[in-house]
Structure 1
Amino acid sequence: MYAKRHLAAAAGISSALIIILAPTAYANWQSSINSAATGFESRRWDDESYTEVRFKGCTQEYASGKWTKVAVWEDNFASPDNNHGTKTFTACFKGKDSVSAGEWTGLPSDNYYFRLQDTDGGLLNVRVVAQDTTQAD
């Protein structure tokens, strides 16, 4: 009886470890942003070589500027994350269907996320956020 309980406990721990270590990254996705401040981080995605981040229909609360700065970061497990550059998005503030896009190339195969580096001190709203890893669009 002891051996069965011990084996069941080991199996349960193994299953929990598999769930914890399972990748949570997505290749391409679409979402929105509501009232995000500087420092906001997106969900993670798997990528290699190329990524594009698009914002459609941007507004800001508590800020007069019509811009936001977006950086793509490499999500490193055992060391500090790497910033692969920042883009300033302005066009998406021109109307609900206006789009700003940033492209990052030459990325090593890894997990990535974008971070709002600056929101002009306000809270950013984006009607549609899209992330794409296919350069041939």
Structure 2
Amino acid sequence: MSETYAAADKAEKLGTTLMIKGKIAKYIDRFAINLGEGPKKVGLHFNPRYDQSTIVLNSFDGEWGKEVVVDHLNFHRGSEITVIMTFDSDGFKVTLPDLHQVTFPNRLGLSQVSYLGVSDGFSITSMKFD
């Protein structure tokens, strides 16, 4: 699975919310949305895994950290979803389409996020910073 990467046109600073709306491919086992400083320094790896019926959260800085497994995969392949990601002093808060929230610590001590990476199992239709 390849991944497309882009530097955000404005860095997400502490307290910033990123609303991502997109379409999940119909025939995938998993996709990922990554936030960080670049593909080799990812503060939040958001990885729904349909083949395991879970969502995995992790970080990457030369190597993967310990996975945090969330048993709340409530959106389906082929659907359009909105995921809200807030970056604050405690870390990352992810609001899922049913408004369930999961949190992940800022393991890398990032003060801003200037990078967004999305796997090809998910295509962004719109993004909004608040």
TM norm structure 2: 0.38
TM norm structure 1: 0.36
Higher strand share: 2
Larger CA Rg, structure 1 vs 2: 1
